[in-house]
Amino acid sequence: MADVSLQTTPRARSGRRNLRLWLPLAWITTLGLAALFAPLIAPHDPLYQDLFLERLPPFFMSGTEPGYWLGTDSLGRDVLSRVIYGTRIALCVSLIAATATCLVGSTLGLLAGYFGGWWDRVISRLIEIWMAFPPVLFAVLLVAVMGTGLTSVIVAIALIDWTRFARVIRAETMVQAQMDYVDSAQIGGARRLTTLVSEILPNVLPSIVALLMLEMGIAVIVEAILSFVNLSLSSDVATWGSMIAEGRNAIHFAWWVLLFPLIALFLTVLSFSQLGEGLKQRFDPVLQ
């Protein structure tokens, strides 16, 4: 019995890892398809208003109308269509902003961790100064200065969150730089920059991917917060944050306006976080 238990434990552990990887990936893939084919999937125009259909309940409650599966808001706009179109904004911001943040922060972290010296001193001081500002308030300030719009939101996120990548990747790079394979590459005549790119970067890459997935979830949250306070896109554009802000005022008699975008936001952030951890566990050579 003991032998059977020992044999099944790794298999069960592998199954849990696969589940942690594939469930978030399935949700994010579903969101991507919904965003890509929103005009074909959405049952109604997300901006169309009909005051005769205001605050219709979802399909599982009495008093609803056919075709309005998740009900309508105070202006008679279809909640499901607005959630689907809000997916476009959320994924666009998360992809572009997180990628820009990753490139800037990871590059600075690699340079500081491997070359050390004045590279490390300058970048470390810059990180400390940047982290002295509260991130959400800093984002609000940047958007207020640059003006509302998708570009301003993306730039604000990239300017704020690069420090997370720089700190973690710097520490990882410093550990990898002490490994024997780095010394072997140097003895073999490889240049320092070549060693950084071809030897250290592949071993740090799983951490970068995990941070990238986490940053995508954070970018979704930041965009929702800015939309909530009407500092993201114009109010007539369907975003999860603006829907949550509207639903908050009608929570006692039209709770579905708040609940469904909130569920989409929660599942998306959770999926990005879990996907990053799952990818790191699957491909990190140290964990393997």
Q: pLDDT tens digits, residue range 99-116?
A: 999 999 999 999 999 988
Record the pTM: 0.86
Residue 71 φ/ψ region, left for φ over 0, alpha for ψ in the -120 to 50 degree band, beta for the rest: left
Buried b (16+ CB within 10 A) or exposed e, 61-72: eeebeeebebbb
| Separation between Cα atoms, residue 89 and residue 234, nearest integer Å | 12
17: closest CA among 275, 190, 286?
A: 275
Q: How far apart are CA 207 and CA 272, in angstroms?
A: 14
Summary mean pLDDT of the chain: 86
Average pLDDT estimate for 153-172: 90
State the pLDDT confidence band at 10, using cuts at 50, 70 and 90: low
Query: Is 288 domain-assigned?
Result: no
Please tell me the predicted confidence (pLDDT) of residue 102.
Answer: 94
pLDDT of residue 32: 94
In the predicted structure, residue 281 carries a pLDDT above the cut 80: no
Residue 219 binned pLDDT confidence (cut-offs 50, 70, 90): very high
Q: What is the mean pLDDT of residues 22-28?
A: 92
Buried b (16+ CB within 10 A) or exposed e, 214-237: bbbbbbbbbbbbbbbeebbbeeeb
Q: What confidence tier does 217 reach under pLDDT thresholds 50, 70, 90?
A: very high
Classify residue 9: in a domain, yes or no.
no
Pairwise CA distance, residues 209 & 216, whole Å: 11
Between the alpha carbon of residue 121 and those of residues 108, 128, 152, 229, the distances in Å are 12, 11, 30, 38
pLDDT score recorded for residue 253: 85
Q: Is 243's pLDDT higher than 80?
A: yes
210 occurs within a structural domain: yes
* 63 occurs within a structural domain: yes
78, β-bridge pairs: 72
Query: Is residue 6 situated within a structural domain?
Result: no
Q: Distance between CA 64 and CA 25 in Å, rounded?
A: 33
In terms of residue numbers, what domain contains 134?
Answer: 16-41+53-283
Q: Is residue 277 part of a domain?
A: yes
Per-residue confidence (pLDDT) for residue 6, from 0 to 100: 45
Q: What is the pLDDT of residue 21?
A: 82
| pLDDT for the residue numbered 146 | 83
16-33: average pLDDT: 86
| Within a domain: 3 | no
- Lowest-confidence segment of 47-51, 126-130, 277-281 by average pLDDT: 277-281
Of the pLDDT bands very low, low, confident and very high (cuts 50, 70, 90), residue 283 is low
What is the spatial distance between Cα 113 and Cα 93, in angstroms, rounded to a whole number?
Answer: 29
Percentage, residues of the chain above pLDDT 70: 92
**DSSP per-residue letters across the chain:** -HHHHHHHHHHHHHHHHHHHHHHHHHHHHHHHHHHHTHHHH-SS-TT---GGGTTPPPTTSTT--TT-TT-B-TT--BHHHHHHHHHHHHHHHHHHHHHHHHHHHHHHHHHHHHH-HHHHHHHHHHHHHHTTS-HHHHHHHHHHHH-SSHHHHHHHHHHHHHHHHHHHHHHHHHHHHTSHHHHHHHHTT--HHHHIIIIIHHHHHHHHHHHHHHHHHHHHHHHHHHHHTT-SS-TTS--HHHHHHHHHHTTTT-THHHHHHHHHHHHHHHHHHHHHHHHHHHH-TTT-
pLDDT band (50, 70, 90) for residue 51: confident
Task: Supply the pLDDT for residue 178.
Answer: 86
Mean of pLDDT values over 88-98: 93
Assigned domain for 8 exists: no
Task: With a cut of 60, say whether residue 286 has pLDDT above it.
Answer: no
When pLDDT is averaged across residues 70-77 and rounded to a whole number, the result is 91
At residue 43, does pLDDT exceed 90? Answer: yes
Q: What is the pLDDT of residue 11?
A: 60
**Res. 77: pLDDT tops 90:** yes
The residue type of 74 is S
**Domain total in the chain:** 1
Q: Which residue has the tokens 């140097």?
A: 186
CATH number at residue 21: 1.10.3720.10
C-alpha–C-alpha distance, residues 159 and 56, integer Å: 41
